Structure 1
Amino acid sequence: MHRFANPARFLRLAKPLTPALFWTGLLLAIGACLWGLFAVPTERLMGDTVKIMFVHVPAAWLGMGGWMGIAIASLVQLIWRHPLAGVAARAIAVPGATFAAICLLTGSIWGRPTWGTWWVWDGRLTSMLVLFFLYLGYIALANASSEKGDTSRVAAVFGIIGAVNIPIINRSVIWWESQHQKASITLGGSSIDGAYLAPLFVAVAGFSLLFGALVLMRMRAALAEMRIDARMRRMADD
């Protein structure tokens, strides 16, 4: 892990990896959405609205996965003082919040014809909305930090504590009565038909690669800003 503590060494890896992740992810995500839109059969009960899943499910997973990334990076920052951990946590926040928002938006669009309403205050939807607000709070705390490109200890602690919401989102459909369907994919297998499952996995892979590319872009931008700030301070001291 500490091999990439040196920003120059990290940038040498991130520079070629960023476009590779971005273009591969974009092709996979677009391909999966087109596959799901035109090649997947209409579902018996939900009709064509089920095809929203090829955006909604990856967005939900990445919204939750993004916060777990923030929590892990925050732990590394606080315990091991890794110099890039805070940069990584901050870089994850905006893409994570974006995917959480996409999850909420597509879920509402899916819910309108399925449930007859845009929103219900059940456990899954409410805890996902809480996650989105946690992202906004984390972004505000990180931006308030005096450490350019890094995150304050307060933001790091907030990132760790906020991870408590992730298992709540995951188990909400089991713990409480919910209009949201139960988990369709678990460690024990999947209840989704193969015609839907294959493009869904491709969509998850594609959007995940895009997420990784966005995080690397933001980390590179933050490191560049830190380098410029350091140079300007040196010039001011001369």
Structure 2
Amino acid sequence: MADKKWLPRWFFQLASPRWCYQITGRLLPWFLLATLILLAGGAVWSLLFAPADYQQGNSFRIIYLHVPSAILAQSAYMLMAVAGAIGLIWKMKMADMVLKSAAPIGASMAVLALATGAIWGKPTWGSWWVWDARLTSMLILLFLYLGIMALNSAIENESTAAQASAVLALVGVVNIPIIKYSVEWWNTLHQPATFKLTEKPAMPPDMWLPLLVMVIGFYCFFAVSLMQRLRNEIIWRERRASWVRELLNKQ
């Protein structure tokens, strides 16, 4: 096991199921409120007040769902890979729980990204699906999510399932840069990235600002979903602990 002396104290607090259950309970209402405000405000802004695209008209508005879901699908997988590495190196069961809890959420985001991309592709490319590098790599990401979920369901031993899921998450993380840079490495139909940290957005502010609000809202939604699933997983795995029995008796 790796040396733990250099790690900060909060790192080990995160490894405590009881502490994580308590802190997520305090954070959940705030993230839920932020999710409702950001997604409701972003949806109204993007659908009713953002101008139509001069080429695509109103059909471009699907990017307000497509882009956030695609970004979140990749971010969730990277979180799983980090959790998998922590679980393998430091043997922290909370990391295993995070990986398992994040997988269904990330998979749903990948499905939403692929579905909205297909809806956008039909009027734009004339086809629901093309074997474009970006689309194909996103489909592979969905299969990786499904593979991790299948491992957790098929392997009864929680420790073995966690190790197998962590290995697959770490191996599959190589697909993330392929998704990101596929439009630059190969000649693809998919348009370049909408947001780049090093460049000014190509869209006018009244189009990319509501998109930014939606992206942040999706991240808050992910946080809410992950914390809720994580709390359920903690209760299930720690059901024999005295603090869980006391909590359930109070309820």
TM range (shorter): over 0.9
Question: What amino acid is the match of 1:22?
Answer: L
Question: What amino acid is the match of 2:186?
Answer: W
Match of 2:211 in 1: 200
CA distance, structure 2, for counterparts of residue 55 and residue 2 of structure 1: 36
List runs of 5+ in structure 1 lacking aligned partners.
232-238
Alignment of 1:1-238 (within 5 A): 1-148=11-158, 151-189=161-199, 190-228=201-239
- Please identify, of 169-178 and 146-155, the stretch whose mean Cα deviation from structure 2 is larger: 146-155
- Please identify, of 19-28 and 94-103, the stretch whose mean Cα deviation from structure 2 is larger: 19-28
CA distance, structure 1, for counterparts of residue 236 and residue 154 of structure 2: 16
Match of 1:235 in 2: none
8 Å CA contact 1:33, 1:55 repeated in 2 = no
8 Å CA contact 1:148, 1:226 repeated in 2 = no
Question: What amino acid is the match of 2:87?
Answer: Q
CA distance, structure 2, for counterparts of residue 3 and residue 222 of structure 1: 17
Change (3 A) 1:195 1:150: farther
Q: Structure 1 vs Structure 2: percent identity of aligned residues?
A: 37
Match of 1:234 in 2: none
Change (3 A) 1:149 1:197: farther
TM-score, scaled relative to structure 1 = 0.93
CA distance, structure 1, for counterparts of residue 231 and residue 115 of structure 2: 29
- Please identify, of 55-64 and 219-228, the stretch whose mean Cα deviation from structure 2 is larger: 219-228
Number of residue equivalences = 232
Question: What amino acid is the match of 1:32?
Answer: G
CA distance, structure 1, for counterparts of residue 76 and residue 238 of structure 2: 26
The Cα shift of 1:54 comes to 0.9
The Cα shift of 1:221 comes to 0.3
Question: What amino acid is the match of 1:100?
Answer: A
Change (3 A) 1:19 1:148: farther
Question: What amino acid is the match of 2:25?
Answer: K
Please give the per-residue CA displacement for 1:42-95, whole angstroms capped at 9, x wherever unaligned. Answer: 110010011111111000000000100100000000111122000001110000
What SS is found at the alignment partner of 1:152?
Answer: helix
The Cα shift of 1:151 comes to 4.2
Question: What amino acid is the match of 2:151?
Answer: L
What SS is found at the alignment partner of 1:201?
Answer: helix
8 Å CA contact 1:70, 1:89 repeated in 2 = yes
